[in-house]
Amino acid sequence: MKQVILFGLITALFLAGCGSQKEAIKKYYVIESLNDTTSAAPDSLPAIDAWCEVDEVQVYPAFDTRRIVLRDESHQIRYFGNHEWAVSPADFLTPIIIDYLAENKVFARVADRFWERNPDYRLQTTVFNLEVVSSKRKSFEAHLNLKFDLIDVKTDAILLTHNADRKSELTERDLNLLAAEISQIFNEELTGFSIQIEKNLSN
* Phi, then psi, of 61 in degrees rounded to 5: -50, -40
Tell me the residue range of the domain where 113 lies: 26-201
Amino acid letter for position 111? A
Domain assignment of residue 3, yes or no: no
Domain assignment of residue 5, yes or no: no
Question: Mean of the pLDDT values across residues 199-203?
Answer: 85
Q: What is the pLDDT of residue 44?
A: 80
Q: What is the pLDDT of residue 166?
A: 98
- The enclosing domain of 187 has a CATH number of 3.40.50.10610
Strands 58-59 and 121-134: parallel
Q: 30-80: per-residue pLDDT in tens?
A: 999 997 755 555 668 899 999 999 999 999 999 999 999 999 998 999 999
Q: How far apart are CA 168 and CA 30, in angstroms?
A: 18
Q: What is the pLDDT of residue 40?
A: 59
Domain assignment of residue 153, yes or no: yes
Question: Mean of the pLDDT values across residues 179-184?
Answer: 98
Domain assignment of residue 139, yes or no: yes
Domain assignment of residue 100, yes or no: yes
Round the average pLDDT of the chain to a whole number and report it. 88
Q: 90-120: per-residue pLDDT in tens?
A: 999 999 999 999 999 999 999 999 988 899 9
Between CA 113 and CA 127, with CA 106 as vertex, the angle to 5 degrees is 60
Domain assignment of residue 8, yes or no: no
Domain assignment of residue 15, yes or no: no
Q: How far apart are CA 33 and CA 96, in angstroms?
A: 6
Domain count, the chain: 1
